[in-house]
Amino acid sequence: MFNGSKKNHLMCSLTALSKFLGIYKQFKELREGYGIKWGKGNTDILIINRLLKRDNSDDIEDWIRQTKSRIPKISRFLDLLIASGMRYSEALISYNLILNLTKIDKLNEYYVDNYLEHFRYSKQFIRRTKKVFISIVPNDVIKEISKSENLTYYAIKMRLQRRKIPLRFSDIREYWASKMTRYLSQPEIDFLMGHVSANVFMANYFNPKLINDLKERALEGVSELISS
């Protein structure tokens, strides 16, 4: 058995090799099928690397502003990422679902009182290793998305690459989680990010419906994020 650090190095090497050979999708399916997870590694090193990665606290905000300015067609999608803290793939599914349901006048089956109820579409949002149940998003963001056009992963990637803008969607998720600590507790953040199975408390006892001011605090935090 390899320890956490060696296991991570091995997994990184295999991941890079699978991408080079063009079989990353198959490799990922096999890894998930056999329940092989990344090692925890050295937590101290992970924290130090994250701190060094963010010497400039305005870095991601500058990237967001620049990307919105140069590629207006994905501005509303970025707003959804910023408001929800969802993973890129989840946000893209949600974005297109909002548009498609709006077209057939059924958005109220998904978006209710500032809540995007992902759990109603479990096949898309509740997967074995990655899941998200709800997101709290302002009405203004949803209205603007409803007036936009559908997007694909390839279209977004090509628009960024043509303008030589790096892909930093995962950084937005980290940015959301860090900023929302001013407004939400760790269990609340974990739940909204889909980390429900992280521990016994989250899996068995935490119920956001019993927290009366959760939505108000979340929307307050989102308002600051979007206006940054």
Per-residue pLDDT at 57 exceeds 50? no
Per-residue pLDDT at 55: 44
What tens digit of pLDDT does each residue of 129-150 get?
Answer: 788 999 999 999 999 999 999 9
- Rounded to whole angstroms, the Cα distance separating 133 from 195 reads 10
**Mean pLDDT, rounded, for 35-51:** 55
Do 142 and 198 sit in the same domain of this protein? Answer: yes
Question: Residue 21's pLDDT band (boundaries 50, 70, 90)?
Answer: confident
Do 100 and 193 sit in the same domain of this protein? Answer: yes
- Rounded to whole angstroms, the Cα distance separating 106 from 74 reads 23
What tens digit of pLDDT does each residue of 167-219 get?
Answer: 899 899 999 999 999 999 988 998 899 887 656 556 665 677 667 899 999 99
Do 173 and 93 sit in the same domain of this protein? Answer: yes
CB-based contacts of 141: which residues, under 8 Å, 6+ apart?
76, 79, 80, 83, 226
Per-residue pLDDT at 5: 58
Do 28 and 126 sit in the same domain of this protein? Answer: no
Torsion angle of the four alpha carbons 189, 190, 193, 198, in this order, in degrees rounded to the nearest 10: 180
Domain total in the chain: 2
The domain in which residue 28 lies consists of: 4-53
Q: What CATH number did the domain enclosing 173 receive? A: 1.10.443.10
Do 18 and 126 sit in the same domain of this protein? Answer: no
CA distances from 3 to 38, 132, 160 (A): 10, 30, 38
Question: Residue 56's pLDDT band (boundaries 50, 70, 90)?
Answer: very low
End-to-end C-alpha distance for the chain, whole angstroms: 46
Mean residue pLDDT across the chain: 84
Do 41 and 145 sit in the same domain of this protein? Answer: no
Do 27 and 93 sit in the same domain of this protein? Answer: no
CA distances from 78 to 69, 142, 218 (A): 12, 12, 18
Do 188 and 223 sit in the same domain of this protein? Answer: yes
Do 195 and 123 sit in the same domain of this protein? Answer: yes
Do 32 and 48 sit in the same domain of this protein? Answer: yes
Question: Residue 3's pLDDT band (boundaries 50, 70, 90)?
Answer: low
With 0-12 CB in 10 A as exposed, 13-18 as middle and 19+ as buried, what is 77?
A: buried
Per-residue pLDDT at 222 exceeds 90? yes
Per-residue pLDDT at 40: 53
Do 32 and 126 sit in the same domain of this protein? Answer: no
Do 91 and 9 sit in the same domain of this protein? Answer: no
pTM for the model? 0.75
